Structure 1
Amino acid sequence: MKKILLVEDDLSLIEGLKFFLLKQGFNVAVARTVKEANDYFHRFEFHLILLDLMLPDGSGFDLCKTVRQTSEVPIIFLTASDEEANVVMGLDIGGDDYMTKPLKLNELISRMNATWRRSGYVNEQSAELNSNGIIVRLLEGRALKNGVDLDLTAVEYRLLCLFMQHPNYVLSKEQIMQKLWDNRESFIDDNTLAVYISRLRDKIEDDPRKPSFLTTIRGLGYKWSTKQGDLS
């Protein structure tokens, strides 16, 4: 699921645009100020930023400059018709495209897709999982928590990837064992799985005795519960 950061302060536009993007299958975070947008950007990974030029505490230009210091995430500016002359400046400092309001929603989707094709950013991001302060770099076979490498066994790493690839989705014990071992290891049973889950929690949870990431859903299985506002 592609993750979009919508930076806009017009409530009527926010409601309509967020509803439309959610229906298209995107995950959407909304920031109404530069400060809120900076907070989201530094906490989560996004596939694209829709960025209004004029915000209550600054301009979209300022945020664009900040983003470009560390990221190549595509940015599409949203601008009123009388601000269109400023777009050249936005493109010069790192914006990828712009649209004038009122937005034509189908055109917006086309421009988003075109931006992704040009940048290749989504393909790069698909090699990384990110939630709850944990990052898994699939191409490197590494997992980090708050920037520090996690010392995981092969089974623990596979478990972590499986859960992070299915956020907020309950996986039954049977599903986990089938996906993880593909019936090649007949000695794996419920008790063995519970041991692996416990060991993984010891390494990833802030408090393994009260797990908040890898939670047990009694009678159903296990779930990777993302933090409130987490977009993974």
Structure 2
Amino acid sequence: MRILIVEDDAAIVDALSALLQTEGHEVTAASRQDEAVGLLSSRTFDLALLDVTLRQGTGFGVCAAAREITPAMPVIFLTASDDEFSTVAGLDMGAADYIAKPFRARELLARIHAAARRAQPEYAREPLRIGDVEVNPATAMAYKGGRELALSALEYRLLLVFAQNIGKVLTRDAVRDALWDSGGEYVSDNAITVYIKRLREKIEDDPANPQRIVTVRGLGYKAQG
């Protein structure tokens, strides 16, 4: 993704840029409202991270401009942990999310990816399949052989992520991001193992010998159609 960071703390900009670039994202930074608005007017971005307080102007001003220039682009505010007013004001302006400082790298990445997914309303709206398992994102329901599966919210989220990534190896970190996004709580490696096991028990013909969600030793998991 092409991500715009609007933040006047150089140390935070450097840390965020390094983190996002490591994940393969293209990063552009601005420290002033007028500079950020100029960038939004002249370039295309997939997502913006905005601090509320800037050297000139505010993150609110940048968000308002973004809503006019690129209304579909998700905006995430970076706020102080005790700044409830800024959090509410940002969300009221149409921000997709907010991250309280100081934030954890893994949580930030998960929230960015979640906001980007939500910004694509047509993404994967058609039913997806893993073998004889059908996942319907439009209704948040899943079926095996035509019969509805009784899945928890986390199990459904996990199944949807696999269905959206047929043939791709998902690392445990990628799986953790998906579950964290859904449940709002950190998910340990042991919990991931449990969720994978439970999901296999519901979608595999032989859970002890899985064919739809297989383990790729040393790497993670892969869904096979």
Taking structure 2 as the reference length, the TM-score comes to 0.52
Q: 3-state SS of the aligned residue for 1:82? A: coil
Distance 1:66 1:122, change over 3 A: farther
Count the aligned residue pairs: 122
The match for 2:105 is 105
Give 1:67 shift: 1.0
**How far apart are the structure 1 equivalents of 2:98 and 2:48?**
11
Q: Which amino acid aligns with 2:106?
A: N
**How far apart are the structure 2 equivalents of 1:17 and 1:122?**
29
Q: Residue 40 of structure 2 contacts residue 69 of structure 2 at CA under 8 Å; is this kept in 1?
A: no
Q: Residue 76 of structure 1 contacts residue 95 of structure 1 at CA under 8 Å; is this kept in 2?
A: yes
Q: 3-state SS of the aligned residue for 2:39? A: helix
Q: Deviations over 1:7-45 (max 9, x none)?
A: 000011111111111111000000011111011111110
Unaligned 5+ runs, structure 2: 124-225
Q: 3-state SS of the aligned residue for 2:69? A: coil
Distance 1:113 1:93, change over 3 A: same
**How far apart are the structure 1 equivalents of 2:104 and 2:69?**
31
**How far apart are the structure 2 equivalents of 1:122 and 1:38?**
28
The match for 1:35 is 34
The match for 1:64 is 63
Q: Deviations over 1:108-130 (max 9, x none)?
A: 1111111122120796xxxxxxx
Q: How does 1:17-166 map to 2 (within 5 A)?
A: 17-71=16-70, 72-120=72-120
Q: 3-state SS of the aligned residue for 1:85? A: helix
**How far apart are the structure 2 equivalents of 1:84 and 1:31?**
24
Q: Deviations over 1:136-167 (max 9, x none)?
A: xxxxxxxxxxxxxxxxxxxxxxxxxxxxxxxx
**How far apart are the structure 1 equivalents of 2:28 and 2:11?**
16
**How far apart are the structure 2 equivalents of 1:54 and 1:67?**
16
Unaligned 5+ runs, structure 1: 124-232
**How far apart are the structure 1 equivalents of 2:38 and 2:122?**
22
The match for 1:184 is none
Q: Which amino acid aligns with 1:115?
A: A
The match for 2:194 is none
Q: Deviations over 1:153-210 (max 9, x none)?
A: xxxxxxxxxxxxxxxxxxxxxxxxxxxxxxxxxxxxxxxxxxxxxxxxxxxxxxxxxx
Q: Residue 75 of structure 1 contacts residue 96 of structure 1 at CA under 8 Å; is this kept in 2?
A: yes
Q: 3-state SS of the aligned residue for 1:28? A: strand
Q: Residue 47 of structure 2 contacts residue 73 of structure 2 at CA under 8 Å; is this kept in 1?
A: yes
RMSD over aligned Cα, in angstroms?
1.6
Q: Residue 116 of structure 1 contacts residue 122 of structure 1 at CA under 8 Å; is this kept in 2?
A: no
Q: Deviations over 1:43-64 (max 9, x none)?
A: 1100000000011111111111
Higher relative contact order (CA 8 A, sep 6+): 1
Distance 1:118 1:38, change over 3 A: same
**How far apart are the structure 1 equivalents of 2:27 and 2:75?**
14
Distance 1:40 1:21, change over 3 A: same
Give 1:83 shift: 2.0
Distance 1:121 1:103, change over 3 A: farther
**How far apart are the structure 2 equivalents of 1:121 and 1:42?**
24
**How far apart are the structure 2 equivalents of 1:6 and 1:122?**
26
Larger Rg: 1
